[in-house]
Amino acid sequence: MEVLNAVALSRRPATAFVAVGLFWGCFAAYIPDLKIRLNVSDATFGLLLLCNALGLVSSMWLAPKIDLILGTRGLQIGTAVFAITFFLPGFAPDAFTFGLSMAVVGAASGLADVLMNARVSELEQIHKRPLMNANHGMFSLGYAAAAFSSGFAREAEVEPGVAFLAIGCVIIVMSTFLNIKISNRSLAGPELFSYPIWPILICGLVVLLAFMIEATVETWSAIHIERTLQGRAAEGALGPAMLGITMALGRFFGQSVSQTFSETRVIIFATLVTAFGAILAALALTPVWAYVGFGILGLGVSVIGPSGLALVGKYVPSHLRTEAISRVAVLGFAGFFLAPALMGLVSEFYGLRFAFLSAAFLSLIIIPLMLILRRSIRI
């Protein structure tokens, strides 16, 4: 009931979260096909995915100014533009074109991400209740549904470009419902460094690590199952689908838990669960055990990123919220694109098992960061 109420209060940004999740779930399921078509190594493919970060960082940094210009239609326009870019990586004929198209997708994704998180943070302040986990749970639902259905599409030999184009058409329709009335206070543009820098930096690092781990599973889980564990295409697609399903469950559960426990306690416990899941997936001998590991990892990592964004939204004044969230997002969402490149290099030299063990180590860095944050600002 708590989750349903939270989604009802934030139904418009929740729709945007579903829309963004639909594309990335479909994209994650099709990664093995994209890699084979481009005929590149793990390291090269990871670097191509890093091109996403170029557009992402620039658009997230500019998002507060764009938000101010577009006003109530900002999220609507941002989501529609994101949908229009979907077909680009699906039809890219070579590595150069693919990298360029991923930069364009990253720019559109970054803008939509900042705007939808800012709208949720504003609604949290208006209604005096946490809403972030429920909305990120809607992203995970869209992601899981798209990844699961894309596995069957791959079995039916549907080309990536056709699948991405279909998803894009669905999201353009969804974007028509995203005209949101927003408070002028949240759009005021602060001067550089006029907001508390340390909470933003620490929360940004926490979100960065969480999204790096999430992106590692999204990008490499299907390849791990199909190549390391000899699974079929549909079995490979179940890797990211399992992540999406358990992340949705974790975030919906986290929505209720956040009413009782502080975000810092939730994040510390979730980090331990995440590390255990990553280790189990790394050491799995069959696809089934890999699913279990990815599922446990998804339950843990699901609440870390949203809770980090919620923390900074609570800490800064309302007129600095969009600016602060955009700065955290620049750090945090870059993890989605740093991780594939980093783990691609690790996989190239040491294999995917070691890459997932590295993800477990990265997750544990979150705990001292949370202890520092709690001590410094007493949250």
The pLDDT assigned to 29 comes to 85
CA–CA distance, 23 with 84 (Å, rounded to integer):
11
| Backbone conformation region of residue 316, classed left if phi is above 0, alpha if psi is from -120 to 50, else beta | beta
Cα–Cα distance list, 140 to 137, 224, 358 (Å): 5, 21, 23
The pLDDT assigned to 101 comes to 92
The pLDDT assigned to 270 comes to 92
Number of folded domains in the chain? 1
Residue 177 DSSP SS3: coil
Cβ burial, residue 29 (10 Å; 0-12/13-18/19+)? buried
Q: What is the CATH number of the domain that holds 208?
A: 1.20.1250.20
The pLDDT assigned to 195 comes to 52
For residue 188, the tally of other CB atoms under 10 A from its CB is 16
Is the pTM value of this prediction over 0.75? no
CA–CA distance, 198 with 229 (Å, rounded to integer):
43
CA–CA distance, 316 with 96 (Å, rounded to integer):
41
Instruction: Return per-residue pLDDT of the chain as tens, 379 residues.
Output: 567 787 788 888 889 899 998 988 898 888 888 888 888 888 788 788 778 777 777 777 677 778 778 777 888 888 898 888 888 888 888 899 999 998 898 888 888 888 888 888 788 778 877 787 788 888 888 888 888 888 889 888 899 889 999 998 999 998 888 877 765 444 444 444 455 677 788 888 888 899 888 888 877 888 888 888 888 877 887 887 788 788 888 888 877 776 677 778 888 999 999 999 999 999 999 889 999 999 999 999 988 888 887 777 666 666 666 677 777 877 777 777 677 778 778 888 888 898 899 889 989 999 998 888 777 655 4
CA–CA distance, 332 with 335 (Å, rounded to integer):
6
Nearest to 332 by CA among 110, 184, 159: 110
Domain that holds residue 336: 2-377
